[in-house]
Amino acid sequence: MWLGLDDTDSLEGGCTTLVFHELLNSLPCEYGEPRLTRLWPFAAQRTRGNASLSVELFTDDSIIDWLDKYWNEKILPLKGNVSESSHSLRKQYPSDPGMVLFREQPSEDYYWRAVRGEVTFFEGGRQWGGNGRIGAAASCAWRCGNVTWEGIAWRKGSRKVSENALTTVEMMDGTFLCRDPRTNRGLIAPRGPCPVMFGVRATDRDTASKATQILIEGSSETIGSRIFATNQATGDHIEKAQKLVVKTKEMLQGGHIILNKNCLAFNESGDVNKIAQWLEIGDEIEFMGLEHEGNFHLEAIKVIFSSTAKRPLCECGTRMKSMGKGQGVRCPKCKRRSDQTWYNEERKPPLQGWVQPPADKRRHLAKTLT
């Protein structure tokens, strides 16, 4: 059987991962690997981290009565928490917990639709609560075809992770996005009031487990920890890269760049914005981005070809100049003439290959490209 949970937190605190961890600790049956699933980043009523949880249960219908009681006593009281964000204008919605239970794993198609767009409720199974049922079912539908791992620990009091422990973990083969290389700031610990002490990401389970233990030993007191299989850093939210020839480029207020009226490179996207500013009309690029309300929000960009028109060089090495419309060009030094008025010279971008936002500005789902 498959159990899913979502939407128990708000900006004021709370954490669906902790609620799920406590549920797992209380279960009267065996269960498989817990999974943390990030979904479509533009979902209107998404939670703070836009993550849902699921796990396979090794039991039968007898678990339903137990889950009914647990839901009413432990999870339903979390409904309705809400607070306003101090850094985002996005409307904040009250928490609307949802829990689902399926005898068979839901269709994988539901996961792909939920990670790449807006979906409605998945029918079937036993379901409790409100909007959280959408993310909960989508997490159950995930097949772990492309998987990373995260070790999460929850704090008892203050949040403090030692610099030595963080340095040790970031040097381990297999961990990633532990620190922002620009600012040297750690990326494993949230800054808000949620109960998470840290979340350390890795490419395999064993590394995530070892890193978690190192960080726990270097942290203030924790109340528990758990390893989750995740779809983070897999790029599942974007189906494929697309090509584009730059026809228009406009700088918006705040330093944002919009290409071809619908491709947005936000100022906060760092090198992505830098390349977008450097581009000229006629340049060809490849990009990855999420489409929302008719615009692509660029998450990665690569210059395929760029050129600029220049006057030809004379045999003496001097740049020729126009003699007037339809009259060709002439060397201002030796007076040689030419009918070739322009030629295209290739431009080399300031950054080669795929360019992505800074580590602390990337989406959880964004895959590191090379």
Closest CA to 143 of 103, 100, 98, 106: 106
More confident residue, 30 or 85: 30
The span from the first CA to the last CA of the chain, in angstroms, equals: 39
pLDDT at 187: 94
Beta bridge partners of 176: 201
186, 242 contact by CB (below 8 A): no
Q: What percent of the chain has pLDDT over 70?
A: 94
Element (H, E) at 271: helix 271-278
pLDDT attached to residue 12: 55
Counting beta carbons within 10 angstroms of the beta carbon of residue 81, is it exposed (0 to 12), middle (13 to 18) or buried (19 or more)?
A: middle
Write out the H or E segment, with its range, that includes residue 211: helix 205-217
Instruction: Write down the pLDDT at residue 345.
Output: 81
**Which tens digit of pLDDT belongs to each residue from 112-135?**
999 999 999 999 999 999 999 999
Q: Over the stretch 248-302, which tens digit does the pLDDT of each residue have?
A: 999 999 999 999 999 999 999 999 999 999 999 999 999 999 999 999 999 999 9
**CATH of region 242-306+348-361, choose from 3.30.43.10, 2.40.50.1010, 3.40.50.10800, 3.40.47.10:** 2.40.50.1010
The pTM assigned to this predicted structure is 0.87
Residue 23 main-chain phi, psi, to 5 deg: -60, -45
Domain ranges within the chain, ordered by starting residue: 2-141, 148-230, 242-306+348-361
User: Which pLDDT score is estimated for 159?
Assistant: 95
Residue 13 has what pLDDT?
52
Give 317 or 125, the one with higher predicted confidence: 125
Alpha helices in 43-179 (DSSP H): 63-70, 108-116, 132-141, 163-170
Average pLDDT of the chain to the nearest whole number: 91
d(CA 196, CA 343): 59
Q: Has domain 148-230 been given CATH number 3.90.600?
A: yes
Q: For the ranges 106-110, 189-193, 257-261, 359-363, which has the lowest average pLDDT?
A: 189-193
Confidence of residue 330 (pLDDT cuts 50, 70, 90): confident
pLDDT at 90: 45
- Whether the pLDDT of residue 315 is over 80: the answer is no
Helix or strand (DSSP H, E) at 275: helix 271-278
Question: 2-141, which class in CATH?
Answer: alpha beta
What is the pLDDT at residue 85? 38
Assess whether pLDDT exceeds 60 at residue 92: no
Position 17, amino acid:
T
Q: Quick one: the chain helix, strand, coil %, rounded to 5?
A: 20, 30, 50
Task: For residue range 220-258, list pLDDT tens digits in order.
Answer: 999 999 999 999 999 999 999 999 999 999 999 999 999
The residues facing 308 across adjacent strands are: 345
User: Which tens digits make up the pLDDT trace of 10-54?
Assistant: 655 568 999 999 999 999 999 999 999 999 988 876 655 688 999
Question: Where is 22: in which H helix or E strand?
Answer: helix 16-26
